[in-house]
């Protein structure tokens, strides 16, 4: 992602912590100026949302899971068709 979207900017929308888990909801924006997942640069501006679930044990990150709108991102880049409108 760093190569594909060198100007990316993350905005944290909310963060909830309980016990050893931290859930973060975010949006990021960037311009596709480098190769991303084998996709040559399109110079398109994109925006994607996502969530991260981090688990901390012994004051260290022990697990991290990310859920991101990858399909929406690929559609914005023009490499995946949008669903037909009804």
Extents of the domains making up the chain? 9-77
**In 5-84, at which residue ranges do the beta strands (DSSP E only) sit?**
9-18, 21-31, 45-57, 60-68
Which H or E run contains 74? Answer: helix 70-77
Q: What architecture (CATH level 2) is domain 9-77?
A: Roll (3.10)
pLDDT tens digit sequence for 37-73? 999 999 999 999 999 999 999 989 899 999 999 999 9
What is the C-alpha separation between 42 and 33, in angstroms, rounded? 7
User: How far does CA 3 lie from the centroid of its chain?
Assistant: 14
What is the C-alpha separation between 59 and 67, in angstroms, rounded? 23
Write down the pTM of the prediction. 0.82
């Amino acid at each position: 992602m760093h190569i594909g979207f060198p100007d990316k900017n993350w905005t944290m929308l909310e963060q909830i912590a309980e016990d050893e888990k931290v859930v973060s909801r975010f949006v990021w924006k960037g311009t596709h100026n480098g190769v991303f997942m084998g996709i040559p640069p399109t110079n398109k501006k994109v925006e994607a949302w996502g969530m991260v679930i981090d688990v901390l044990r012994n004051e260290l990150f022990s697990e991290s899971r990310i859920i991101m709108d990858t399909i929406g991102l690929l559609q914005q880049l023009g490499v995946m068709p949008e669903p037909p409108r009804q």
